[in-house]
Amino acid sequence: MNEKNGKNNECVLSEEEKALMQKLAAEHGTPIFVIDHEKIRQNYREFEEHLPRVQAYYAVKANSNPEIIKTLYNIGARFDVASMPEFMLVHENIKNLPDKERQDWIWDKIIYANTIKPVETLEALDKYKPLVTFDNTEELKKIKKHAPNAGLVLRIRVPNTGSMVELSSKFGASPGEAVDLIDEAFKMDLVVEGLSFHVGSQCTNFNNYIQALQLSSNIIKEVASRLDKKLIIVDIGGGFPVKYDKKVKEFKVLAKKLNSEIARLFPADMHILAEPGRFMVADACTVVAKVIGKAVRDDKPCYFINDGVYHTFSGQIFDHCNYPVKAFKEGDKQISAVFGPTCDALDTITLSAELPELDLHDLVYAENIGAYSHASSTYFNGFPPAKIIHINQ
């Protein structure tokens, strides 16, 4: 959907795409959340092109829309799930396969990457011989009792400096205890397949990956020397940055560093996995809303629209992400405030939008809003989430 601006490589809507957004809004009403499936396919192909040795497991939590799952499944993606409903969502896409093929597919194509799993989930997953992550002794005990057929991946804690969303405080074993945890798992007659890490979401500090890969290599070597065990998987997680603005370096810059380090640190038979979520869907979606009210406060224009932080703009709170609100209308711009429709002051989208003077029913839009946005929508105050519209399926 979004074209890249030649000057700074940011993703922006073309005039043709703006016209399409307005047409869809007129046809379906507002707010609408438009998903461009061709852009998703382009992102997947770009990932494959620049990281040919890395197998992408789409992080379903970024946007769990079933049609996105189908598009990625059809192009060859595998999946990272973090809950049983996410697992079943992916499982539904292969329901027509024979039972044996389906079980083999689950083992090979899905990783359950949430390190903490309810007992009920483990019991439900066990028949599929899943690949699951862990990062502590108590989780090992649960897995041994309720999912002994699982293959294990130890998640280690790595630096998250400079990432938009930090994850290391909640997940990951200390690298210093990694070998002991792996040893403990093998003594329980469980099979540890490898290691995983996550450098933090929207990671613009590429040194995080370099340090994490080096830590992983050191642990794998120590496991081989101390335990005489061979680990065969390194899951480099997600965090691959989207070019929300010109400050973010292009993906190919990171890919070049990753390819070099992977080749230097790991043998050719090591399976390298990744869990891109944001990278696949962020710039593939646009929200269109309309002005439902306006006011002037402290000499600043204030606009109320029929989408907000309890809905598509939820990422501004939960994902620490900013989605500039733009107008289709032309005119001299002034600093304006934009609020969502709910009766809550928290429902503030921005106090610094650059907008022309808008009238009731004028349309506004926000680009690059596909990740960690609509997936977190609620029905707070009774306002429903934006209607989903698919294009280029």
Residues marked active site are found at 343
The vertex-177 CA angle with 175 and 179, nearest 5°, equals 90
Report residue 23 as tokens: 């047409």
C-beta separation of 321 from 366 below 8 A:
no
Sort strands 348-355 and 151-155 into parallel, antiparallel or unpaired: unpaired
Provide CB contacts within 8 A for 141, sequence distance 6+.
none
3 state SS of 129 = coil
Alpha carbon distance 289, 365 (integer Å): 6
**Ordered alpha helix ranges (H), the chain:** 15-28, 37-50, 66-75, 84-91, 99-109, 119-125, 137-146, 178-187, 207-222, 251-265, 278-281, 315-318
Alpha carbon distance 147, 141 (integer Å): 10
Listed residue (192, 169, 198) closest to 179, CA to CA = 192
C-beta separation of 146 from 190 below 8 A:
no
Cis peptide before 267 (omega within 30 of 0): no
Alpha carbon distance 201, 204 (integer Å): 9
C-beta separation of 31 from 306 below 8 A:
yes
